[in-house]
Structure formats: structure tokens, C-alpha cells
Amino acid sequence: MGTSSRDRRIAEIMAKLIKLYKETPKHWEGGILGSMTTTPHPIAVYAYLLFIHTNYSDKIVFPTLKYFEEELISDLNKYYGGLTGLLTSGGTESNFLALLAGRKTARDRNNIVVAPDTAHVSIDKACDIMGCRVIRVETGNKPVDPGKLEEYIRRYKPFAVVITAGTTERGLVDPVKPVADIALDTNTYLHVDAAYGGLLIPHLYRNGYLEHDLKFYEGVSSISIDFHKNGMTPIPSSILLFSNKEYKRNVCYKVSYMLSGETCGLLGTRPGGALAATWAIWKYMGWEGFRELSLNMMKLAIYLYERLNKIKGIIAYKPILPIIPFTHVNISYEILLKELLKRKYYLYKSPSLKALRIVIMPHTRKKHLDEFLETLEEILEKSIEKK
């Protein structure tokens, strides 16, 4: 292929990419209201692109990544109280690694994980791969009852317990401190999945919105916090913090052919750009920046909740975190979902509540919510006219 035909090929591919990009929904347009993803922040994108060539598994060739990791993890642990940690590709990998660390620590325990029925599906996925069994504790869509959880722990002697600080469908916060006490008492590995709520809960707790805080109380072994959710980093970036260096060693493997001699986590070659992006957003936002963001998001969630409940037939659930499930007394949520999709509104489902779910994310603005409410009212009026 000559230079001019190569140039032409590039121009054609770019034109096609731009066309496809234009057809792809963007968060800032306001229609993506159910996903826990957001527009990555420019400083995170900048850092990601600068370090896009780097492999996080190779901190000898790319020592800057060691610097990013050490500074970021130690900064976060000043607030959350852990000892060590690493960046992973997402909440799923973090949950998987937490269970792996727990499994290797408690060889004498049963090959069982105990988790409330509200825990994320990635726990089942991890156990499917690791060959363990998940025993679910019924919650009736409430934060788990520590007494009931303790009964299960004593009966099944699991190698790990997982609770959630910010459940996917409702934003419930399981009581971390009481469960940590039980974990300590029964010598059980406790993982707190804070993939969604990790950056919000400490601030919402301190401002009176929540009953329970999130941190490494004695008895907590690991906490996962996704930055590609409320942290505004490009996908894939989640942080997994451990209370103990041995737990981290349990998720690292020797790799003799590499200069670093080891890789940690499920992936081999890992995105160094995601680590740079997470470091950069943390430097930019810091604890104070995330405090402000969390409070603003919660205010918007309450605004939406109040507006939704003023619409005839709509029942909205009071937000615990900035997640608002809602339903209609006569119209099924599946039908409502389809009608909204036709109008380019992308909501998710809370099947356990038979409801739709809106998640206020860092990009969400009041104007997006007002436009959405107008569309919802139009749909409801039309369906009433049909009847």
C-alpha cells in the first residue's frame, strides 16, 4: 500500500469513527440515567492518555507506576484506614481478588461465601470461577441484619463474608461496624464491596444522611471502591484496599520472565493509564472535592425523588445514596422502560423492587432531570389516553 492510499485509509477510518461516535449516546446529553458510568474528567483522560503505553504489571520498566500506586494507596488509606492495596479493572475484579485473598487465608474453613441476597452478581461469578458456593442471607431489601448474618457464619463456617456499602439496585448500606465485630469474633475474612458507594458514604455519613460509616473497622479485611463510577476516571479503574500485607500477597503471582518478577490481580498486562488517571483525579479532587460532589449528587437525588412522587401514579423510593428506584401503580416497569428507551432515555432496572432505577452520577444536572420528568409525564398521559 503506497503512502497516499494509506492516508486515504486512515481518513476513511477516521470519518467512520466520527460517524459512529456521533451515533453513540454521551452522558452529558442527559439520556443515560441508569448506568453507574460517567463522563471521565479531563485531568483523568489526560493522565490516561499520557500513560496509555504503560503496563501496570511492570513497575521496573515503568517505575512511575510504582510511585502512583504507593502514593494513591497510602493517601486513600489515610482516610479509609487500610494498609495496602492495588488498582484493579473494576468492581468485579476487586470482588474476585478479595475472595481469592480470603480463600488463601482461611484454608481450614468451608469453601463457602456468605453474603446478603442484595450483594452484586460478581460474587456469584467469582465463586463460579473459583469453585466455591455462595450462601445468600435473605434481607427483604433492607441492610443485612447482623444477628442473622452471624447465625449463617456460625452455621456454615465460610472462608469469607461479603457485605455491600451501596447496593446496586437500591443503594442500601450494610452496617459495616456491627458486621466487622462479628467477623473479628468469628475470625472470618470480611470484604466490604463499596464499588458504588465507596467515594460517597464517608461524606454522606458525616453530613447526617446515613447511619453507618465506611472504613477499616477492626475485623474488615478488604474494601473495594470503583473510581470509574463516582471517581470520574476512564474505565477500567477500581481500588481494592487490604488491612494486611499478606492479603495482597495472596493475589500476586511470580512471573519469572518479567523484570518485575510478579504480577498482581487477574489480568497479566494491566492498564498503567488507568492507574495514572486514578492518581490524577485523586490529586485534583481529594477528600474535600469528593465531599462536595457527594453532597451535590445527594441533593439532586432528593430533588428527583420529590418531583417523581408528585406525578400521579408514580411511587419513588427515598434515596439512601443517590439512587432513585421508582415504579407506577398501573403500568409495569418493563413497559415504562421500553417507552423511555424509544425516547432515548436509558434507565436500568431494580428487579428486586419491580422498579426502574435512576442513578445520579457526577455528570447529572438538574436540567437533565427536568427534561426527563417532562418526557415521563408525556408517556403517562398518552397511556392514560389509550385506556
Q: Residue 373 CB, nearest distance to ligand PLP (Å)?
A: 25
d(CA 141, CA 117): 8
Nearer residue to ligand PLP within complex by CB, 201 or 308: 201
Is the bond preceding 236 in cis, omega lying within 30 degrees of 0?
yes
3-state secondary structure of 79: helix
Q: Residue 122 CB, nearest distance to ligand PLP (Å)?
A: 5
d(CA 176, CA 272): 32
Report the residue from 57, 144, 193, 227 that binds ligand PLP according to the rule CB under 6 A: 193
Report the residue from 51, 68, 196, 290 that binds ligand PLP according to the rule CB under 6 A: 196
DSSP H helices in the chain: 3-23, 42-50, 63-80, 91-105, 122-130, 146-156, 176-186, 201-206, 245-249, 272-309, 333-342, 366-386
Q: Judged by CB under 6 A, does residue 150 bind ligand PLP? A: no
Tell me the CB-side half-sphere exposure of residue 34, using CA atoms within 13 A.
Answer: 16
Q: Provide the b/e sequence for 136-166 (b: ≥16 CB within 10 Å).
A: ebebebebbbbeebbebbeebebbbbbbbbb
The interface region with ligand PLP, picked from 2-10, 42-50, 90-98, 239-247 by CB under 6 A, is 90-98
The interface region with ligand PLP, picked from 46-54, 91-99, 260-268, 346-354 by CB under 6 A, is 91-99
Q: Provide the b/e sequence for 315-337 (b: ≥16 CB within 10 Å).
A: ebbebbbbbbbbbbeebebeebb
Q: Judged by CB under 6 A, does residue 90 bind ligand PLP? A: yes
Binding mask 238-257 for ligand PLP (x = CB under 6 A): x-------------------
Q: Judged by CB under 6 A, does residue 195 bind ligand PLP? A: yes
Q: In the window 55-74, what residues touch ligand PLP (CB under 6 A)?
A: none
d(CA 207, CA 360): 18
Q: Residue 27 CB, nearest distance to ligand PLP (Å)?
A: 16
Q: Residue 226 CB, nearest distance to ligand PLP (Å)?
A: 5
DSSP 8-state code for residue 165: B
d(CA 102, CA 326): 37
Nearer residue to ligand PLP within complex by CB, 168 or 350: 168
Q: Are strands 348-350 and 314-316 parallel, antiparallel or unpaired?
A: unpaired
Nearer residue to ligand PLP within complex by CB, 55 or 122: 122
Report the residue from 27, 30, 31, 36 that binds ligand PLP according to the rule CB under 6 A: 36
Report the residue from 113, 114, 226, 324 that binds ligand PLP according to the rule CB under 6 A: 226
Nearer residue to ligand PLP within complex by CB, 149 or 274: 274
CB 49 within 8 A of CB 60: no
Q: Judged by CB under 6 A, does residue 100 bind ligand PLP? A: no
What does the binding site for ligand PLP look like in residue numbers (CB under 6 A)?
36, 90-92, 95, 120, 122, 164, 166, 168, 193, 195-196, 226, 238
